[in-house]
Amino acid sequence: MRALDPTIRDIKELLEDLDSAESIRRYRSLVGDNGGGQALRRGGEEAHLNELLLMGIVSLSQMVDLLVEARREALPTPPPAAGRLEVPFVDLVAQHASIAAEIDEAISRVMRDADFILGREVDLFEREFAAFCQTDYGVGVDSGTSALELALRAFGIGRGDEVITAANSFIATAFAISSAGARPVLVDVDPRTSTIDVERLEGAISPRTRAIMPVHLYGHPADMDPILEIARRRGLVVIEDACQAHGARYKGRRTGSLGHAAAFSFYPSKNLGACGDGGMVVSGDPEAAEAVRRLRNYGQRRKYHHDTLGFNHRLDTLQAAILRVKLRHLEVWNAARCQQAALYGERLAGCPVALPQEADWAQSAYHLYAIRAADRDTLAARLRDRGIATGIHYPVPIHLQQAYRDLGYRQGDFPVSEGLAGQILSLPLAAELTLEQIGHVAESIGEFLALRNATPPVARPAL
């Protein structure tokens, strides 16, 4: 008993620190008192809160968790500093509010029909998104990662094969290659576009190479013509990683229509995002599309008749219904992103940061607006202090990730990707952000850089 006394005393002190009667009531309700008096009833006797622990009704960790939760309820969320303009990285709440009636109707339609697995909405969305991408077939799956993997498998790529991709992509690109049984072979990127360096591509090809997976990073297309020409000469498959490039164009053509197949992600924060995970393979090849359809659904062409080994990688009907609504707004949302990117370019011109460059042959979808700053981490902290959220995409290149140390790459092998990882900073960008918010971000960056450049270096004693 005595050994427990200090712990119980600590818990009682925490309880006494709760700031309102409402939080005390909530705590008692959580542990079963339903808002009664100071004590719980145990038979005909009263059991006080700390006795719950000794009686074994709750564990010590449970009691502390409940107290902390009650305390959180009691403490009001501090309002933003007076006059401070908050800028979220994305604003999905605002996006959904603007189309709430349409989303509610789409969900109600699925619920009314109880059409949850590969329902009519999935088929309609596949057709609509394939048409949007200027290609013939779309196959909905459960994530962008699955889309990449199943696209590779549809072309027979697997164990013993090599697939070339960019060193600076999100790691899911490499994971999809590995999940298909192949080996990722990495290539450094063009510092202007952050997409795969076509000048280095041919040098990475070996007798085991079966495919190239260019990544349209941040919504900017890779330089596809030379990639496709190399693939044609070498007999390779080209799978576009278009997971960040919904609506981007290369020489007037949509991403997704350029290679043998393409993979898209509908992660919630993407330009076209679901209310959960989702993805799609698009292709002009009917045999590849049919292979993906079988693979996503247990390898079956018809129910309970399984032609091959497969997976459960289906796109939910609810997500497809939601995505059909959002697809109708995508062109307008992308136009707003482009306007915001242009405003950033105007307001940050002349600042000592590197801004995203759009190649002459590209029309970026601006999934991300990623600048490069020598003092990235300090800048991010200063922006956070001013209510501005940022992101880093991505802080560690694929070849330096612990998961891929077996590939045999070392630090220094891909200097452009490594340099980007240390400097890249993604600024807020979303159709729902206001021009005032974008201006606030640009002004805050300018003020930070001006102050930094005006501050003389600290004198250091000679060694």
**Residues 73-118 pLDDT 10s:** 444 444 555 568 999 999 999 999 999 999 999 999 999 999 999 9
Domain boundary assignment for the chain: 2-74, 94-327, 332-454
What local confidence, expressed as pLDDT, does residue 451 receive?
Answer: 86
Is residue 229 scored above 70 in pLDDT?
yes
Q: Which residues pair with 28 in a beta bridge?
A: none
What is the rounded distance in angstroms from the CA atom of residue 315 to the CA atom of residue 156? 22
**Residues 232-286 pLDDT 10s:** 999 999 999 999 999 999 999 999 999 999 999 999 999 999 999 999 999 999 9
Structure tokens at 177: 């290659």
Pick the CATH number of 332-454 from 3.90.1150.10, 3.50.50.60, 3.40.50.300, 3.60.21.10: 3.90.1150.10
What is the rounded distance in angstroms from the CA atom of residue 227 to the CA atom of residue 238? 8
What is the rounded distance in angstroms from the CA atom of residue 413 to the CA atom of residue 228? 25
Pick the CATH number of 94-327 from 3.30.70.120, 3.30.160.340, 3.10.50.40, 3.40.640.10: 3.40.640.10
**Residues 19-43 pLDDT 10s:** 444 444 444 444 444 333 344 444 4
Prediction pTM value:
0.81
What local confidence, expressed as pLDDT, does residue 432 receive?
Answer: 93
What is the rounded distance in angstroms from the CA atom of residue 37 to the CA atom of residue 33? 8
Q: Tokens 């107290």, residue? A: 67
Is residue 460 scored above 70 in pLDDT?
no
> Mean of the pLDDT values across residues 170-181?
98
What is the rounded distance in angstroms from the CA atom of residue 187 to the CA atom of residue 200? 7
- Enumerate long-range contacts of 200-203, CB under 8 Å, 24 or more apart: 201/164, 201/226, 201/227, 201/230, 202/230
> Mean of the pLDDT values across residues 126-141?
98
SS3 assignment, position 396: coil
Question: What b-and-e string marks burial along 90-104, b requiring 16 or more CB atoms within 10 Å of the CB?
Answer: bbeeebbeeeeebbe
- Enumerate long-range contacts of 52-55, CB under 8 Å, 24 or more apart: 53/4, 53/8, 53/11, 54/1, 54/4, 54/8
CB 395 within 8 A of CB 451: no
How far are the Cα atoms of 42, 136, 154, 306 from residue 286, in angstroms, in the given order?
A: 70, 8, 11, 19
Positive or negative: CA dihedral 219, 225, 228, 234: negative
Is residue 456 scored above 90 in pLDDT?
no
What local confidence, expressed as pLDDT, does residue 377 receive?
Answer: 97
